Amino acid sequence: MKCKRLLGAVMAAAVLVTSLASCSKEVNYTPDMAEYAYEDGAPSLRDVYADYFQVGAAVNPRDFEEGTDRFKIIDKQFDVYTLENDTKAENIHPAEDEYNFEATDQLVEFGEKYDKTVRGHTLVWHSQCPDWFFCDENGDDVTADVLVERMKEHITTIVSRYKGKIDTWDVCNEVIDDNYGLRFSDWLRIIGDYDGDGDNYDFVEIAFQTAREADPDARLIINDYSLEVNGNKAVTMYNMVKQLLEEGVPIDGIGLQMHIDYETDVERMRKNFELLAKLREVDPDFVLEVTELDLSCFTSNDNSTEKEITEEFTQQFDAKYCEVFNLLMDLSEEGILDTVVFWGYDDGSSWLNEFPVEGRTNYPLLIDRDLKFKSAYWNLMNLPRQREAGETQSQEAE
């Protein structure tokens, strides 16, 4: 996987050298280049950011139908793909003796055919995980031993099947509580301090060790939300991962979901990421990945369903996307970030419609409901060139 990432950068560099006329960052990108994101003349987000990081998106099986508008979009714009739902436990392993591999097989076939990076999401999560994991035939809790065995069987079966094919796994998802310590999930409650050493990180420890045994070359990520803005969560994550790394648990990086909004404080985000980046003092190869980026048009304390998208709001929205991408390019230059994945790619398919407020219409991505590029897309396309020409203010200079 690391080879594929490096190879991608080398190939992108070669293209830039051999073809200056089409050098992606020399171009001034304008909306008249393509109205619809699937047009042949559409430029490519992944090309423009190739010197910084791979760009990806959460997708669904319908996106892999060759020749369709959606296939053209994902093939041109992205390097990295995560299935939005189909690799989650409730879908891939709905009953103890039943696995549904079809959609994840399709993802992997697509990745192999087009030489794309593929992410597996997710192995151990409290949500979208069927009850059978935690219950015996009477509906009572299973013992810690039984749950550990079920978790190991789940991870080993799935990761082994896709060994060498799924590049990166979100091994554990959302294990940190929003207020303090670890989330009191069924995984934590039942497995607890399994090895008796005084901490209750055990289900995380076992999950990562099991995944590493099943595919020694896969990148193993611990993924969570609000690490950008919640200082307590970032500190809890830092402390836990630091201890586990020192104990030799094979965690390769932290996944930053980055479900943010148009008012998210980017300087606060930078401080939290600087803390998490200190984990390189324990493991010099430790990485951060952005795994689920979207930018809501509603702040977290806003319960409204409709947003008036004025010109002024659009400018604020676009500027926030640029501010965030400047931070992400800074992290790339520091060598800690090589992957940025959006959660979806068009507003109409985003999970942020109807959630967390029923009846809500949201506009958090770079492509609109008609699959037309939004102004935020064009702003991000020009950002690397402007940054390298010194046309954008860096955060340090402010």
Cβ-based nearer residue to Ca ion, 115 or 195: 195
Q: Please give the structure tokens belonging to residue 259.
A: 């479900």
Question: Torsions phi, psi of 63, nearest 5?
Answer: -70, -20
For residue 170, the minimal CB distance to Ca ion (Å) is: 21
For residue 192, the minimal CB distance to Ca ion (Å) is: 8
Instruction: Please tell me the distance from the alpha carbon of residue 220 to that of residue 218, in angstroms, as a whole number.
Output: 6
**Is residue 292 among the annotated active site residues?**
yes
CA angle 325, 284, 231 (to 5 degrees): 55
Cβ-based nearer residue to Ca ion, 47 or 205: 205
For residue 244, the minimal CB distance to Ca ion (Å) is: 8
For residue 177, the minimal CB distance to Ca ion (Å) is: 17
Instruction: Please tell me the distance from the alpha carbon of residue 337 to that of residue 255, in angstroms, as a whole number.
Output: 10
Cβ-based nearer residue to Ca ion, 195 or 354: 195
Q: Residue 135 pairs with which residues in a beta bridge?
A: 141
Cβ-based nearer residue to Ca ion, 143 or 160: 143
Chain mean position to CA 262: 19
Q: CA distances (Å), 172 to each of 21, 158, 196, 270, in order?
A: 45, 14, 21, 23
For residue 196, the minimal CB distance to Ca ion (Å) is: 7
DSSP output for 189-201:
HHHSSTT-SS-S-
Chain mean position to CA 76: 19
Q: Please give the structure tokens belonging to residue 22.
A: 């089409």
Cβ-based nearer residue to Ca ion, 197 or 281: 197
Q: How far apart are the first and last CA of the chain?
A: 37
Interface contacts to Ca ion, rule CB under 5 A: 193, 195, 197, 199, 202
Largest CA distance in the chain: 69
Place of tokens 């398919």: 349
Catalytic residue ranges? 174, 224, 292
